Chain A
Amino acid sequence: MAQWRPDQSFYPSPKMAMEAPAEKIAYVSLLNSNESSADALGVVDVDPASSAYGRLIGQVDMPNAGDELHHFGWNACSSCLCPYSPHPHMERRYLVVPGLRSSRIHILDIKPDARNPRIVKVIEPEAVMRGTGYSRPHTSHCGPDGIYMNAIGSVDGGGPGGIFMMDPETFELKGAWEKERGPQFLAYDFWWHLGHDTMLTSEWGTPDMVENGVNPELLLAGKYGHAIHIWDLAKRRHQQVLDLGAEQQMALELRPSHDPNKTYGFVGVVVSLKDLSASVWLWHREGANGNGAWKIRKVIEIPAEPADAERLPPLLKGFGAVPPLVTDIDLSLDDRFLYVSCWGTGELRQYDVSDPFQPIQTASVRLGGIARRTAHPGQPDKALNGGPQMVEISRDGRRVYVTNSLYRSWDQQFYPEGLQGWLAKLDVSDGGGMELDPKLFLQLDRMRPHQVRLEGGDASSDSYCFS
């Protein structure tokens, strides 16, 4: 049915999106801790006025076991207002939910009842591989001209990983995106600077490098990803490699400035081989008009924390320290606060990045962690495992949601006693600072939460063409 006015969750600019009403529902991908049972998409009540606040109020089980739900995205978002390819009357209605291990893609409709999404289409793994040449779909972004997704592997479980497109109405696969790949081989995340027709991609490892857990030999040899790639978004061509150096292992989440006129962004690095530290790097474009070459530099370094060997999993025993393991970062819509998850040490950090070259740490909250096991104030006597991992920020920047599961085989290596899933929420103060909301702490017995998507959009779901 045609809409008369633009979808009211679409905003021309990030500044306007910050005025959006607070979310009442959060969607979260749930990995089943039992590998032979199905994963699910959970619906969490995040309306403080509701009697079910903080509870799982809906759960859609996937039709098959073993998908490894991970990241997911919307069919349409604010980028539909982009002037060169306007589709303002599309609806933000469908969630695109890929299985990172199975390569199966699910389409869920939230329109009839946002609390009870329905699976309306399932694209089987063979069809995904046949239609794209890729396997293990990972990130999904709603672009101005359709759904962009990426995959970390080729059909045979090796590389290259890459990007493919999907029709936002029929969900037909439109094939591989790249016209000229250049030296890119590894894939993890992708996003863009829409105002500059620039795509960015990052690097993890091919499926055969990650599916059986982190491989210490490959890691110590510096074989995991350590570069980001710059692409011409309109021409679909590789333009530049920004190499962080082989000691910087796993350059994962990409968070470009939301303001489409700006030309910088942040990428998190999981671990340095030199000292087990983690880091955040800033890419930026040189030249007065932002038309020069792209550069990258380290702007945040987080050291490893010494710990007794008996508190460490076998993988880390020899090191006598816990690596922070920065596995996700997220940038508020005003490009002011960067949140950094340290999944190993169990810490969420907040930095003021008003000057992106000189981040200033403004807050730190501890939760879980390999050695610390910090409890949540909502249940102060219970030691937690896992740590802040996926982090999502509300559009107004006032609320932050974190979950603690990374990836099944890696959860097992770093938290071998069995990761207990949880989702927590933090309230952000004006001008920086944050604290855990004691009332919103969702613990799940059999399920491990991964990415959170907020009703109407959040700080990593939408992109904008107007500043």
Chain B
Amino acid sequence: MTHEMSMSLSSVAVLLGMGAFHGVNPGMGWLFAVALGMQEQRRTAVWRALLPLGAGHALAIAAAVAIAVLAGIAVPLHDLRWPVAGILIALGASRLIRHRHPRWVGMRVGMAGLTLWSFLMASAHGAGLMVVPVFLAMAVAGHGEHHMMVASAPVAAIFATLVHALGYLLVTAVIAVLVFEKLGVGLLRKAWLNLDVIWAAALIGTGAITVLM
């Protein structure tokens, strides 16, 4: 860990927690893993789906954080809060009004297709964007309000991405296996709470906290 960045225990916990929150959402991957298992009637199909789902999700986080790192070269970190907060709140508000996401894939999906699907779902839902303020907080804590050190930023970005992806993947794997082996998809009818509203609230809340940062 570079000394400029503050990888506090709390930021790790927040990153893991956000990953877990993303993983719980049936629309983020575990349900697809279960469906592929049911389609092939083999549990290995569930396990096989986890890697591309995790990779796609991690890529979405990495892409959002990378954009923040690049922006951080040009703009003082403290000022970056404003556009990030603005985008988060706008995205959250739009999701409260309408639920849209990309559509192009079907049930017959290969590993590359599943990775891309996971990347697009995470990106469209603002999963990566939600992580950016945590990353910024880490960077600001390490640096004060100055520009980010170019050398240390990628390491921090990769760390933040991996910690988040770990949280996501653990929860995705546990739920997918549990539903496939024990619970069955019938539970969807009762247990699939409308996370869109909570998700939108999370985006808006994260945006608000970013401003106060």
Q: Which of A's residues lie within 8 Å of B, judged by CB?
A: 2-6, 8, 10-13, 16, 81-89, 144-146, 169, 194-197, 233-234, 260-261, 465-467
Choose from B35, B96, B190 the contact partner of A83 (Cβ within 8 Å): B35
Known: A11-B189, A16-B186. A197 touches B194 (CB 8 A): no
Q: Is B99's beta carbon under 8 Å from chain A? A: yes
Lowest 8 A-B CB distances belong to which pairs?
Answer: A197-B106, A234-B106, A145-B103, A83-B32, A83-B31, A12-B185, A83-B35, A86-B27
Q: Which of B's residues lie within 8 Å of A, judged by CB?
A: 26-27, 31-32, 34-35, 38-39, 41, 96, 98-99, 101, 103-109, 117, 185-186, 188-190, 192-194, 196-197
Q: Which residues of B lie under 8 Å from residue A146 when comparing CB positions? A: 103
CA distance A8 to B191 in the complex (A): 11
Choose from A2, A8, A12, A260 the contact partner of B107 (Cβ within 8 Å): A260
* A84 touching B32, Cβ below 8 Å: yes
Q: Which residues of A lie under 8 Å from residue B196 when comparing CB positions? A: 2, 89
* A5 touching B35, Cβ below 8 Å: no
The distance from the CB of B157 to the nearest CB of chain A, in whole angstroms, is: 29
CA distance A16 to B188 in the complex (A): 11
* B117 touching A12, Cβ below 8 Å: no
Known: A195-B39, A466-B185. A88 touches B192 (CB 8 A): yes
Give the number of A-B contacts (CB < 8 Å): 88
A-B contacts, 29 listed (Cβ < 8 Å): A2-B96, A4-B194, A5-B192, A5-B193, A6-B192, A11-B189, A12-B185, A81-B188, A83-B26, A83-B34, A83-B107, A84-B105, A84-B109, A84-B117, A85-B101, A85-B103, A86-B27, A88-B188, A88-B192, A89-B196, A144-B103, A145-B103, A169-B98, A195-B39, A197-B108, A234-B108, A465-B107, A466-B185, A467-B39
Q: Which residues of B lie under 8 Å from residue A88 when comparing CB positions? A: 26, 188, 192, 194
Known: A6-B188, A83-B26, A466-B185. A197 touches B31 (CB 8 A): no
The distance from the CB of B143 to the nearest CB of chain A, in whole angstroms, is: 40
CA distance A157 to B192 in the complex (A): 46
Q: Which residues of A lie under 8 Å from residue B105 when comparing CB positions? A: 84-85, 234
Known: A2-B196, A6-B192, A465-B35. A197 touches B107 (CB 8 A): yes
Q: Which residues of B lie under 8 Å from residue A16 when comparing CB positions? A: 186, 189
* B32 touching A12, Cβ below 8 Å: no
Q: Which residues of B lie under 8 Å from residue A144 when comparing CB positions? A: 103
Residue in A closest to B186 when the chains form the complex, CB atoms: A16
Q: Which residues of B lie under 8 Å from residue A197 when comparing CB positions? A: 106-108
Q: Which residues of A lie under 8 Å from residue B103 when comparing CB positions? A: 85, 144-146
The distance from the CB of A152 to the nearest CB of chain B, in whole angstroms, is: 26
* A466 touching B35, Cβ below 8 Å: yes
Known: A86-B27, A196-B107, A466-B38. A12 touches B193 (CB 8 A): no
The distance from the CB of B5 to the nearest CB of chain A, in whole angstroms, is: 37
* A6 touching B189, Cβ below 8 Å: yes
Q: Which residues of B lie under 8 Å from residue A261 when comparing CB positions? A: 38-39, 41
* B189 touching A10, Cβ below 8 Å: yes
The distance from the CB of A403 to the nearest CB of chain B, in whole angstroms, is: 31
CA distance A196 to B106 in the complex (A): 8
Q: Which residues of B lie under 8 Å from residue A5 when comparing CB positions? A: 189-190, 192-194
Known: A5-B194, A12-B189, A89-B196. A467 touches B106 (CB 8 A): no
Kindly list 20 other residue pairs between chains A and B, CB separation below 8 angstroms, not including A5-B192, A84-B107, A467-B38: A6-B188, A6-B189, A8-B189, A10-B189, A11-B189, A12-B186, A12-B189, A81-B185, A83-B32, A83-B107, A86-B31, A88-B188, A88-B192, A89-B99, A196-B108, A233-B106, A234-B108, A260-B107, A261-B38, A465-B107
* B188 touching A2, Cβ below 8 Å: no
The distance from the CB of B117 to the nearest CB of chain A, in whole angstroms, is: 7
With most chain A CB atoms within 10 A of its CB, the pick from B31, B35, B106, B189 is B106
Q: Which residues of A lie under 8 Å from residue B104 when comparing CB positions? A: 234
* A2 touching B197, Cβ below 8 Å: yes
CA distance A360 to B27 in the complex (A): 42
Q: Which residues of A lie under 8 Å from residue B109 when comparing CB positions? A: 84
Q: Which residues of B lie under 8 Å from residue A194 when comparing CB positions? A: 106-107
CA distance A13 to B174 in the complex (A): 22
CA distance A208 to B34 in the complex (A): 48
CA distance A8 to B10 in the complex (A): 40
* A82 touching B189, Cβ below 8 Å: no
Residue in A closest to B35 when the chains form the complex, CB atoms: A83
CA distance A467 to B105 in the complex (A): 19
* B99 touching A87, Cβ below 8 Å: yes
The distance from the CB of A170 to the nearest CB of chain B, in whole angstroms, is: 9
CA distance A233 to B109 in the complex (A): 13
With most chain B CB atoms within 10 A of its CB, the pick from A3, A85, A144, A197 is A85
CA distance A120 to B196 in the complex (A): 26
Residue in A closest to B102 when the chains form the complex, CB atoms: A85
CA distance A218 to B137 in the complex (A): 75
Q: Which residues of A lie under 8 Å from residue B27 when comparing CB positions? A: 86
Q: Which residues of B lie under 8 Å from residue A260 when comparing CB positions? A: 39, 107
CA distance A196 to B185 in the complex (A): 19
